[in-house]
């Protein structure tokens, strides 16, 4: 089962500025998109569907909507 990955405007703006945006999207699809509760992600503030993970050195904050199979990235903090 795969989840669709959507980027909220602030995360999409950050992604557009990343030099490895295409690779990042591919890795997101292969990891978080296939298992949003895996890939070393952790629940944020005890909320199971509010998650944080590190992907290609970037910190990704996202919400999981299991009923519609969508992951929404709300914040993206690229590595320096």
- ∠ at Cα 5 (25, 18), nearest 5°? 30
Q: What is the pLDDT of residue 80?
A: 63
- pLDDT per position as a tens digit, 51-65: 999 999 999 999 999
Tell me which residues of the chain have a pLDDT lower than 50.
none
- On the CB side of 33, CA atoms within 13 Å amount to 12
Output the six-digit token pair for 78.
């690229």
Could you tell me the residue ranges of all domains in the chain? 4-77
pTM given for the model: 0.92
Q: Which CATH superfamily is domain 4-77 in?
A: RelE-like (3.30.2310.20)
* CB contact set of 66 (below 8 Å; sequence gap of 6+): 49
């Amino acid at each position: 089962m795969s989840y669709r990955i959507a980027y909220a405007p602030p995360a999409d703006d950050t992604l557009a500025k990343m030099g490895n945006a295409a690779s990042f999207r591919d890795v997101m699809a292969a990891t978080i998109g296939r298992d949003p509760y895996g890939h070393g992600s952790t629940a944020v503030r005890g909320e199971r569907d509010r998650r944080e993970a590190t992907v290609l050195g970037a910190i990704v904050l996202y919400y999981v909507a299991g009923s519609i199979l969508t992951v929404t990235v709300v914040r993206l903090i690229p590595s320096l």
